[in-house]
């Protein structure tokens, strides 16, 4: 915890071509214009400087979330009750998963307006194949999610082949897939999932208690520690600066504390919903793909400058098509999760404010509508805000109409912030 | 090891184009153009707007293959049918619009499309390390490779774009107006970088409108005018006026007449009708229509 330098020390080779610099200075810190950011104190200083310079990261969303929580808690003390939080955690799972796909499409600089309908259609396919046709639940899930993939493939191919704006294709999809949803459900209207089957239990009745959720939290923290420490080692080996081990430990401690808080809050009641864990898993998986793989890098590049991506030899059309496939697949997964939570699939599943909430969550979380930029975990942070608002308004008995107005206004505010930030970036030339 | 003298370099023409023609509908963009680039040499390609410079670069880069003519690379006749083929062969191109991703950092841009990964995951430390090594080698002044390139100055962005072209270990680097839209200090930075490329024994082809830049870094100048060769000059043995005359084709311009009178005694080879000395002023440069009218 007392470590002060970030470089390898004795074995470090002198940095080439940089006469006059101390031998221990890491390769990436030799420029005199860079302030030396070493140790825990240095990291803290650097963070403060970043915030002062207006690089506030996800801070505004977090602050917004705290404000929302404080207001609702003041209005109705049951807001932070374990029962309500368990409900909130289940409610946001499906839209959060759908928002994850929206983030991917936004990164390309495109939009998918069909995600709500696709989730509804997938829920319908799930229910009909499981209940009406008696297929095993696993097969029903594969069919529903697979249908999402096929739908995404159709969108992607239409988009890349004919160059029709994604806005128009997916607007048509919004109507078409909702029609398919109703067609599949036919006269039944709503199909209840069998109460005893694992499909339903996975959603509404399955929760991780103290033991289960603690195991998950330990795995999460251990995974974080291992990857961060390995990354640190790799950077030191490459003679680059690396975050001090103490900082990694502090961050891991913070994650552990947060996880502990969530477990404590939820497990007083039913526990951590399975579907919330599914959301978390997908959020982390998508983040990994985006930040750590060539595929993710390609998505960012295409959103940043498609011509540059093309000249760099990226298979632009293939990647764009695959992102539409992913978006629809995630939307379908969200639909399946929603059917599990509600214990039914109906004509209304995936309709109403599902689409707008998913887009709002993505944008509020920090995915730019202009492509190529997104803060980490945008979908999760955004859906916490977007989910907390109707949940809290419900507790103070506000009408649906007002809920719509408020959610719509929040989305508008987020979009304006996005546009202003973009203009600021262009003016100051910062990324 | 490092070849800087044009006379020595002339023995190793990496790239030689002869009789290149290209037509766009009614426009004869290139008409039997000859062009050569040598290892360890910076050759400037100059000419007025519409002279065919970009078209010639596109022929070399494989973006727009020629209708007619031959290309030799490393002494062997080749066909460059696509940008990929050109790249594979060892011809790197830095276009005027740079083609950087503003949202990616310097490392992300340098390795775009050829990222190093291990076990399916990006190997960021290795890429960052190589980025620093490359930038150091080029004496490039970039404070951090972890900032989005949007936050870099024009000269730094140009540096990133040029460095990026070197990752594929090319033999020829084509630069389309590398100093256009740059300030004085930033232009100097880029010109320094071009020096470094020459030291690495690369053949550098630089399109430029700026005579000061040409005189600062180029060893040789090829002038195009209305799609034809309009002169071939050794920078050390030419003047600004001479170049301007070749570019504009202003044979009867006062400046040129005075220059001719002054040079008549000094450079007798300037009168050689067919340019037997490849580095002598080509008479077509002074009067491109002399043979026809
Ligand atoms: N794609 C094209 N289609 C039609 N004409 C073209 C095209 N590209 C270039 N040209 C014409 O060819 C000539 C040479 O152009 P270019 O090579 O761009 O000149 P420079 O780069 O020297 O300014 C110009 O007359 C231009 O209008
Ligand atoms: Mg041009």
Ligand 2 centre to CA of A337 (Å) is 56
User: What separation in angstroms does the CA of B128 have from each of A230, A343, B150, B173, B246?
Assistant: 16, 50, 18, 23, 46
Smallest Cα distance from B10 to chain A, Å: 32
List of residues 6+ apart from A304 with CB closer than 8 A: A371, A372, B101, B102, B103, B104
Kindly state if the Cβ of B24 falls inside 6 Å of ligand 1. Answer: yes
In the predicted structure, residue A10 carries a pLDDT above the cut 50 = no
The pLDDT assigned to A157 comes to 97
At residue B288, the pLDDT reads: 37
Higher pLDDT, A202 or B21: B21
Angle CA A76–A262–A343, to nearest 5:
75
- Rounded distance, CA A339 to CA A10, Å? 60
| pLDDT level of residue B84 (50, 70, 90 thresholds) | confident
Between CA A197 and CA A138 the distance in angstroms is: 11
Res. A53: pLDDT tops 70: no
For residue A298, what are the contacts with CB-CB under 8 A and spacing of at least 6? A309, A314, A319
pTM: 0.84
Among the partner-chain residues B102, B133, B142, the one whose CB lies closest to the CB of A431 is B102
Long-range contact set of residues A159-168: C-beta below 8 Å, sequence gap at least 24: A159/A110, A159/A320, A159/A321, A159/A324, A160/A317, A160/A320, A160/A321, A166/A105, A166/A110, A166/A111, A166/A112, A166/A324, A167/A110, A167/A111, A167/A113
B277 touches chain A (CB under 8 A): no
Q: What is the mean pLDDT of residues B152-159?
A: 88
User: Which range, A391-400, A407-416, B196-205, B282-291, is most confident?
Assistant: B196-205
Answer whether residue B242 shows pLDDT above 90.
no
**For residues A296 and A309, what is the distance between their CA atoms, to the nearest angstrom?**
13
Q: Summarize the confidence of residues B233-251 as an average pLDDT.
A: 86
Q: Is the CB of B53 under 6 A from ligand 1?
A: yes
pLDDT tens for each residue of A166-203: 999 999 999 999 999 999 998 778 998 887 766 666 55
Q: For residue B252, what pLDDT is reported?
A: 57
How much of chain A, in percent, has pLDDT values that exceed 90? 66
Q: With a cut of 70, say whether residue A21 has pLDDT above it.
A: no
**Nearest CA, atom 11, ligand 1:** B29
Give yes or no for B133 touching A (CB within 8 A): yes
Q: What is the mean pLDDT of residues B3-22?
A: 71
Predicted pLDDT of residue A37:
56
Whether residue B101 and residue A305 make contact (CB cut-off 8 A), yes or no, is: yes
User: What pLDDT band is residue B11 in, cutting at 50, 70 and 90?
Assistant: low
Residue B155 has pLDDT above 90, yes or no: no
Contact A328, A96 (CB under 8 A): no
CA distances from A223 to A172, A204, A218, B125, B166 (A): 42, 28, 8, 20, 37
Closest CA to B110 of B149, B57, B153: B149
Q: Which domains does chain A have, with CATH numbers?
A: 58-209+271-423 (1.10.3470)
- Taking CA atoms only, the protein residue closest to ligand 1 atom 8 is B55
- State yes or no: pLDDT of A368 exceeds 90: yes
| pLDDT, chain B, mean | 83
* pLDDT exceeds cutoff 90 at A67: yes
ipTM of this predicted structure? 0.86
Given this model, what pLDDT does residue B52 score? 92
pLDDT tens sequence across A70-91: 999 999 999 999 999 999 999 9
Question: What pLDDT, on the 0 to 100 scale, is given for residue A198?
Answer: 66
Query: Model confidence at A426, in pLDDT bands (50, 70, 90)?
Result: low
Residue A293 C-alpha, separation from nearest chain B C-alpha, in angstroms: 5
pLDDT, tens only, B272-284: 333 334 444 443 3
Q: What percent of chain A has pLDDT over 70?
A: 86
Could you give the CA distance from residue B163 to residue B192 in angstroms, rounded to a whole number? 13
pLDDT at position A212 over 90: yes
Among B21, B31, B55, B226, the mutation site with the greatest number of ligand 1 atoms within 8 A of its Cβ is B55
**CA-closest residue to ligand 1 atom 3:** B24
Which of residues A382 and B253 earns the better pLDDT score? A382
Which chain B residues contact residue A373 at CB under 8 A?
A: 103
CB B14 within 8 A of CB B86: no
Beta bridge partners of B229: B224
Q: What is the average per-residue pLDDT within A212-235?
A: 96
pLDDT of residue B5: 45
How close is the nearest chain B Cα to the Cα of A33, in Å?
Answer: 7
CB of B132 less than 8 A from some CB of A: yes
Instruction: Tell me how far apart the alpha carbons of residues A127 and A190 are, in angstroms, rounded to a whole number.
Output: 9
**Banded pLDDT at A420 (limits 50, 70, 90):** confident
CA A199, chain centre distance (Å): 24
pLDDT value, residue A13: 38
**Is B108's CB within 8 Å of A17's CB?**
no
Task: Find the mean pLDDT for residues A94-103.
Answer: 98
Structural domains of chain B ordered from first start:
1-90+170-293 (3.40.50.300), 100-169 (no CATH)
Average pLDDT over chain A reads: 87
| Tokens at A58, concatenated | 């996800």
Quick one: pLDDT at residue A431?
A: 45
Q: What is the mean pLDDT of residues A298-317?
A: 93
Q: Do A31 and B103 touch (CB under 8 A)?
A: no
- Give the residue on A whose Cα is nearest the Cα of B115: A294
């Amino acid at each position: 915890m007392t470590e002060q330098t970030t470089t390898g020390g004795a074995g470090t080779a002198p940095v080439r071509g940089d006469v006059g610099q101390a031998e221990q200075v890491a390769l990436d810190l030799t420029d005199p214009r860079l302030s030396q950011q070493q140790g825990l104190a240095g990291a803290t200083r650097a963070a403060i400087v970043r915030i002062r310079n207006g690089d506030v990261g996800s801070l505004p969303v977090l602050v917004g979330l705290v404000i929302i929580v404080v207001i609702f808690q003041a209005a109705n003390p049951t807001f932070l009750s374990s029962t309500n939080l368990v409900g909130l955690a289940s409610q946001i799972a499906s839209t959060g998963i759908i928002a994850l796909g929206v983030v991917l499409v936004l990164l390309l600089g495109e939009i998918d307006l069909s995600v709500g309908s696709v989730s509804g259609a997938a829920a319908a396919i799930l229910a009909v194949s499981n209940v009406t046709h008696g297929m095993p639940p696993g097969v029903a899930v594969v069919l529903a999610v697979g249908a999402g993939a096929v739908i995404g493939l159709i969108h992607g191919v239409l988009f890349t082949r004919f160059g029709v704006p994604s806005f128009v294709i997916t607007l048509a999809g919004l109507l078409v897939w909702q029609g398919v949803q109703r067609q599949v459900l036919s006269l039944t209207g709503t199909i209840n999932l069998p109460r005893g089957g694992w499909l339903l239990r996975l959603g509404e009745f399955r929760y991780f208690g103290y033991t289960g959720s603690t195991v998950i939290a330990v795995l999460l923290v251990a995974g974080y520690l291992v990857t961060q420490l390995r990354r640190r080692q790799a950077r030191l080996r490459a003679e680059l600066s690396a975050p001090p081990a103490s900082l990694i430990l502090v961050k891991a401690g913070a994650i552990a504390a947060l996880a502990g808080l969530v477990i404590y809050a939820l497990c007083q009641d039913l526990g951590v919903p399975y579907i919330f864990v599914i959301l978390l898993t997908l959020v982390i998986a998508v983040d990994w793909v985006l930040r750590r793989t060539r595929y993710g890098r390609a998505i960012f590049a295409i959103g940043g400058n498609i011509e540059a991506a093309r000249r760099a030899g990226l298979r632009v059309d293939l990647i764009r098509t695959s992102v539409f496939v992913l978006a629809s697949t995630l939307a379908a997964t969200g639909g399946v999760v929603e059917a599990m939570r509600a214990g039914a699939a109906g004509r209304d599943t995936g309709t109403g404010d599902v689409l707008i909430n998913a887009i709002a969550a993505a944008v509020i979380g920090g995915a730019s509508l202009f492509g190529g930029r997104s803060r980490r975990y945008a979908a999760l942070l955004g859906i916490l805000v977007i989910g907390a608002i109707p949940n809290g308004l419900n507790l103070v008995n506000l009408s649906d109409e007002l809920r719509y107005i408020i959610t719509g206004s929040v989305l508008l505010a987020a979009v304006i912030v996005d546009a202003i930030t973009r203009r600021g970036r262009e003016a100051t030339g910062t990324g | 090891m490092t070849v800087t003298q044009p006379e020595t370099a002339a023995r190793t023409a990496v790239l030689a184009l002869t009789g290149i023609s290209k037509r766009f509908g009614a426009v004869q963009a290139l008409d039997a153009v000859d062009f050569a680039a040598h290892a360890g040499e910076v050759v400037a390609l100059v000419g007025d707007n519409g002279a065919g410079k970009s078209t010639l670069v596109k022929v070399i880069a494989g973006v727009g293959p020629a209708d007619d003519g031959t290309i030799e690379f490393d002494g062997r006749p080749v066909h460059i049918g696509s940008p990929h083929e050109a790249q594979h062969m060892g011809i790197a191109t830095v276009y005027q619009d740079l083609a950087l991703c503003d949202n990616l950092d310097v490392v992300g841009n340098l390795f775009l499309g050829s990222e190093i990964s291990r076990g399916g995951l990006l190997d960021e430390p290795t890429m960052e390390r190589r980025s620093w090594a490359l930038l150091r080698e080029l004496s490039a002044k970039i404070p951090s490779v972890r900032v989005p390139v949007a936050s870099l100055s024009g000269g730094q962005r140009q540096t990133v774009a040029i460095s990026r072209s070197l990752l594929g270990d090319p033999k020829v680097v084509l630069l389309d107006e590398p100093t256009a839209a740059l300030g004085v200090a930033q232009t100097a930075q880029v010109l320094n970088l071009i020096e470094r490329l020459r030291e690495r024994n690369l053949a550098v082809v630089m399109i430029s409108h700026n005579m000061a830049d040409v005189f600062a870094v180029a060893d040789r100048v090829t002038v195009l005018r209305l799609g034809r060769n309009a002169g071939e000059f050794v920078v050390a043995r030419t003047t600004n006026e001479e170049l301007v005359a070749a570019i504009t084709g202003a044979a009867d311009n006062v400046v040129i007449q005075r220059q001719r009178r002054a040079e008549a005694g000094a450079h007798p080879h300037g009168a050689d009708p067919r340019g037997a000395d490849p580095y002598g002023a080509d008479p077509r440069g002074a009067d491109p229509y002399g043979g026809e009218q």
